[in-house]
Chains A and B, each alone.
Chain A
């Protein structure tokens, strides 16, 4: 067996290796936080259904919808997730900070975590400026106005159909 061979060769390497596996298994068992490079590799393990409600972001540049099918996988992911992450960053960063601080407090190093280090100092206007530049680079034309909506969709018969009115994402502050 490999571990036995490894033990014969070096007890230190074996112990380090076993410790790594135990820690990684523990993180898998706890299913909460990870510790890079020990990640939890779920890879779409949870249940998904066709009847699940889909929340979709649609972008309108210069009053015209951006057709995502025209762009590369990376570009459309960049356009969509950058906005999604920006909208989510404030509550996510806050919650992560509180959870991590609570855990690190147990190790007596929680006081080193200063909130300003875990918070973004960016206004919606600054984000919008950056985001418009990103969208302009991808779509290849000058963007005068950029509006984003989030809408709920459901699979009906043979396609996705909207089931809620589009909600404007107010983090984008263009006219």
Chain B
């Protein structure tokens, strides 16, 4: 199947849908600048964030509802504008795409400084707009595969860390993590159904470990994507299982990474190459 401009528009719509759903969830739970109205920030050993802090935007955001509104509006407005620009194929889409990626980076850096949101959750919304900065189908194709490659490295690195730091070789690992992750919750109410599930898993650490083991296997499974695109549908399913169980067991929401799955879905489309008069078939 050949990659066409229709697929670029479809991907833009998918990205925008993921973004809107994610932002709606954040806004509903009031973890936006307007919802939080932050009064303090916490630093992180992050070069980019610390360089951004040279502008003193962090102090402008604290207790200033106008700037908070502005930040939220720009953050939600740019991806919508970008999708419209992609659909209408306007010339300024390159500029809009770069602005969207840059502002997502700024927004993610600062919002994660004022609440518990992890900046890693914003990675998809930082990288994916770059896909739409291109005017040519060919560049889009190569950017798409670069992003797919990058996501594989991110996911596989998470699995490799579990080997390097030996979490994978510790049968008590998941029970210990569950205890750490939910300690405040489980001591609040002994009779709660979720507390009882967590208690059961802690009492049977081997069963709990099975979830950790399967999770790590899913992370490492993505290495297959470096060599072939044949299993991309399986990888998409594995990814959704991973984030579903992350939400159910760990109560961590990684749904913002769903936008990356577009790279795996659209990877099956080939590029028509004028040079060789044949379809370019990139092996991974």
Contacts and interface: CB of A to CB of B under 8 A. Distances in A.
Contacts of B79: none
B50 A113 contact: yes
Contacts of A24: 153
Interface string B6-40: 00000000000000000000000111000001011
Interface in A6-35: 6, 9-10, 13, 17, 20-21, 24, 28, 32-35
Contacts of A46: 165, 167
A103 B149 CA distance: 31
A69 B161 contact: no
A89 B187 CA distance: 26
Given A13-B146, A88-B42, A117 B138 contact: no
B47 to A, nearest CB: 4
A39 B120 contact: yes
Contacts of A42: 158, 161, 165
Contact of B31 (A58, A65, A74, A127): A74
A127 B116 contact: no
Nearest to B116: A81
A123 B115 CA distance: 18
B43 A118 contact: yes
A79 B117 CA distance: 13
B82 interface: no
A77 B116 contact: yes
Contacts of A82: 115-116
B275 to A, nearest CB: 9
Interface stretch (B68-76, B91-99, B171-179, B230-238): B171-179
B145 A6 contact: yes
Contacts of A1: 283-284
B184 A160 contact: no
Interface residues of A, number: 79
A48 B167 contact: yes
Size range of the chain B interface in the assembly: 35 or more
How would you classify the secondary structure of chain B's contact residues: helix, strand, loop or mixed?
A: helix
B161 A100 contact: no
Interface string A52-83: 10111110000001111100111111101110
Contact of B179 (A13, A54, A97, A120): A54
B45 A33 contact: yes
A118 B53 contact: yes
Contacts of B40: 85-86, 89, 120, 122, 127
Contacts, number: 217
B119 A56 contact: no
B97 to A, nearest CB: 15
B145 A2 contact: yes
B127 A5 contact: no
B194 to A, nearest CB: 7
A78 B115 contact: yes
Given A1-B283, A47-B170, A155-B202, A93 B115 contact: no
Ranked nearest first, the 3 interchain pairs of A and B with the lowest CB-CB distance are A48-B176, A45-B161, A96-B43
19 contacts: A10-B142, A13-B146, A37-B48, A37-B127, A43-B158, A43-B161, A44-B162, A45-B164, A46-B165, A49-B172, A50-B202, A54-B179, A58-B188, A92-B43, A104-B50, A112-B54, A117-B56, A121-B59, A153-B187
Interface of B: 29-31, 37, 39-50, 53-54, 56, 58-59, 62, 105, 108-109, 115-116, 119-120, 122-123, 126-127, 138-139, 142-143, 145-146, 149-150, 153-155, 157-158, 161-162, 164-167, 170, 172-177, 179-180, 183-190, 192, 194-195, 199, 202-203, 205, 251, 253, 280, 282-284
Interface of A: 1-2, 5-6, 9-10, 13, 17, 20-21, 24, 28, 32-37, 39-50, 52, 54-58, 65-69, 72-78, 80-82, 85-86, 88-89, 92-93, 96-97, 99-100, 103-104, 112-113, 117-118, 120-122, 126-127, 130, 137, 153, 155, 158-160
Given A45-B164, A85-B42, A160-B179, 20 more contacts: A2-B282, A9-B138, A21-B153, A35-B46, A36-B46, A42-B158, A44-B162, A52-B176, A54-B179, A57-B184, A58-B184, A66-B188, A69-B195, A74-B31, A100-B50, A103-B47, A117-B59, A120-B41, A127-B40, A158-B199
